[in-house]
Amino acid sequence: MASSELSDILNRRQKINDALENGESVKQSFKVVNVYTEFHEFSRKQIKDYQSTFNKYDVGRDGFLDLPELKIMMEKLGAPQTHLGLKAMIAEVDEDQDGKISFREFLLIFRKAQAGELPEDSGLSYLARLTEINVDEVGVNGAKNFFEAKIEQQLKTNKFHDEIRQEQEERRLAEQERVNRRAQFQQKAAIFQHN
pLDDT at 66: 93
Q: Report the percentage of the chain scoring pLDDT > 90.
A: 18
Question: Is the model's pLDDT at 69 over the cut of 90?
Answer: yes
Give, for 45, the enclosing helix (H) or strand (E).
Answer: helix 44-57
pLDDT at 65: 92
Calculate the dihedral angle through the C-alpha atoms of 165, 48, 128, 32, rounding to the nearest 10 degrees.
Answer: 90
* Homologous superfamily assigned to 42-137: EF-hand (1.10.238.10)
pLDDT at 157: 45
Residue that wins the pLDDT comparison between 170 and 29:
170
Output DSSP code: residue 148. Answer: H
Query: Helix, strand, or coil here: 63?
Result: coil
Output DSSP code: residue 23. Answer: T
What DSSP assignment string belongs to 95-144? Answer: TT-SSSEEHHHHHHHHHHHHTT-S-TTSHHHHHHHHHH--HHHHHHHHHH
Question: Is the model's pLDDT at 148 over the cut of 80?
Answer: no
Confidence of residue 165 (pLDDT cuts 50, 70, 90): confident
pLDDT tens sequence across 96-127? 888 899 999 999 888 888 888 888 778 888 78
**What spatial distance separates the first Cα and last Cα of the chain, rounded to whole Å?**
58
Question: Is the model's pLDDT at 31 over the cut of 70?
Answer: no
* Cα 183 to Cα 167: distance, rounded to the nearest angstrom: 24
Question: Is the model's pLDDT at 90 over the cut of 80?
Answer: yes
What is the pTM assigned to this prediction?
0.54
Are the C-beta atoms of 93 and 124 separated by less than 8 Å?
A: yes
What DSSP assignment string belongs to 156-173? Answer: -SSHHHHHHHHHHHHHHH
